[in-house]
Structure 1
């Protein structure tokens, strides 16, 4: 686990360097990324956090799905959704995060759902 965490941390640092490069160079673009590899990487980076909170990730994304994205941004998005699902979990149940993907014309739509507290719309409208 320590070796995997170390390797994933190095990849995250590489991705952060890419984010800095993207912010300073608008010519960097998107390229095809194997979605499940990024999901597995995010899970590995958060393994202890997910285990400590009894979080489950249900991945319904087919193994052959690739999306066009900036790798650092995609990993950051996945990790943010996973950590927020645990951070805002319902205190009466273990967090469950479900990932799905479907093609819509020229786009792949990634959906991430959880069984957390949700958003208090009344509070936000104030």
Structure 2
């Protein structure tokens, strides 16, 4: 049995299989998942698990070189925007419209659905290359 890191076997497999520039999506309960893109549904109840909890767990196991969020997050979910800005201060950060964001989800390796019930609590995490410390 694993001692630490992601215990969800589906997420662990996706992260292990990511190559440089591949990306995943972490989404709230309302984000549509395009046909043909795998979905891992973690939602238990409204707000559980939260967007931040899921992002934090995945970011601890994944080398993230770029983060994409919807520009609408800035105004409509400032707490999530503050979290993402500080959590990924070292990564390239990009904003696009929510409609553009939804289009980008079509190229994701997976969409991970959280229980988050706040607007625009969605992000794309692009894999970087980890060369050790």
TM-score range, shorter chain: under 0.3
Structure with greater helix percent: 1
Structure whose CA Rg is larger = 1
Q: TM-score, normalised by structure 2?
A: 0.22
TM-score normalised by structure 1 residue count: 0.23
